[in-house]
Amino acid sequence: MKKILLLLISITACFSLAAQDEAIFNQYHINPILVNPAYAGFERTPKAGGIGFSDDDFNGVHILQANYRGQWSGFDGAPKTYMLSYHGPISNTFGLGVSLGSETAAQMRRFKGQLNMAFRFPIKDNFRLTIGPSLEVQQMTVDNGVVDDPFYIPSDETLEEFINGKREFDASLGIMGEIKQNTLIGLSFANLVRARLDNISDDQQESFFSYYTFFARHRFQVAGPDFELVPSMMIRQLRDAPFQIDFNLMANFMVGENKDNRLSAGLSYRFGDLGVLLGFNVFNIDVYYGYDVSFRRFQKFNMGSHEITIAYKLVKKKSANKAQQ
C-alpha cells in the first residue's frame, strides 16, 4: 500500500510542480519580483533613520536574495523549494534580474532558470510605470528508481516523459506602477508560450492572457517615522491550479540608536490557510521567517509549512556632487 501511495504522489507531483511554477513562495509581498518580472530594479533607496524612502529615483539598490520553502513539514516526500536570485537597476530606465531555482516533491525534481527585464517610464513626478518580460527554461525529471517499482507501467507516457527529462521554455509579461512611493500595483501574465502552443497542438481556444497575477501593496505611516503598516493582496489564476486570493498585513518598526534597524511582523490569510511572519533588518541584510498552517483535512498529516528569505541589499551611495545639488 505504501508503494502505491508513493507512486501516486510521484505522478501527482509531476502535475503539481508544473502548475505551481509561477508562484512558489508566499513571501512575494516582501519582494514582488517573485510574482512580477517588472519589479526588476524597482526597489527604492531606503531613508536613513526612519520609515520610508529617499527622494532618489530607482538607481541605487541591488538585491541578492535566497529563498527556501518547506511545504507540509514532517510528511514523507513533501515539496521543498530553493531559489537564488539577483535584481537591480542597470540604468535609470532599465532593470535586470536573474534567478536559479530547484524544487523536489516525492521522486520529482525540477530545475529552473529565469531572466527578468524591466523598462521604466516616468509618467509624472508622483507616478512611475515599468513593463518587463521574463524568459524561463525548466527541466523536470523523476528518480530512476521509479522504474524499479513493481507498480510501474512502462506504457505510462507521462512518467516516461519525465524519466527522460522534460524540458520546457516559457515567457511571461509584467506591468507595475508606483504612486507617491507608497502604493504599488502590478499585473503579470504567465505561460504565454505554453498557452499558445497548447492552442496549436490541442486545438484549444485558450486566451493568451488566461493565467495572471494581480498584486497591490500600500504603506501607511503610523505614529511618526518609526512605525508603518503595510497591507497587501494578491489575486491569481495559475495553470492547472484553483483560483486564489491572498491577504497580508505587515508591521515594520524602526529600532536602534539611529533608527537604522527594522523589526517586522505580519499575518497572511488565504482561504483555508493562515500564516505568520517575523523578520528583521541589520547591516543591509533582511531576514524573514514565515510559518503557515491549513484548515483543510490534510493538515493533520503534517506540521505546517516553513519559509525563509535572506536578502542582501547593496545600496549605492550618492556622490558628494549629487548630495549638494
C-alpha cell at 246: 491572498
Angle at alpha carbon of residue 76, lines to 72 and 79, rounded to 5° = 50
So what's the pLDDT on residue 52? 67
User: Among candidates 23, 183, 209, 176, which has minimal Cα distance to 95?
Assistant: 176
Strands 305-315 and 108-124: unpaired
CB-CB contact of 162 with 150 (8 Å): no
Superfamily designation of domain 2-324: monomeric porin ompg (2.40.160.40)
| More confident: 45 or 279 | 279
User: Per residue in 86-99, pLDDT tens?
Assistant: 999 998 889 999 99
So what's the pLDDT on residue 45? 75
So what's the pLDDT on residue 78? 86
User: Per residue in 32-65, pLDDT tens?
Assistant: 999 999 999 888 877 766 676 666 666 678 999 9
| More confident: 186 or 44 | 186
User: Per residue in 246-273, pLDDT tens?
Assistant: 999 999 998 887 778 899 999 999 888 9
Residue type, 122: P
So what's the pLDDT on residue 6? 46
CB-CB contact of 190 with 1 (8 Å): no
User: Among candidates 101, 124, 96, which has minimal Cα distance to 33?
Assistant: 96
- Strand runs labelled E in the chain: 61-70, 80-91, 94-105, 108-124, 127-142, 166-179, 183-189, 212-218, 220-221, 227-237, 244-255, 261-270, 273-282, 285-294, 305-315
Residue type, 296: R
Domain boundaries defined on the chain: 2-324
30: left (phi over 0), alpha (psi -120 to 50) or beta: alpha
Q: Enumerate the β-bridge partners of residue 169.
A: 137
**What percent of the chain is predicted at pLDDT more than 70?**
76
User: Per residue in 99-152, pLDDT tens?
Assistant: 999 998 877 888 999 999 999 887 777 888 999 999 999 998 887 666 666 666
- Whether the per-residue pLDDT at 224 is higher than 90: the answer is no
So what's the pLDDT on residue 242? 79
Residue 219 has phi, psi (to 5 degrees) of -105, 125
pTM above 0.75, yes or no: yes
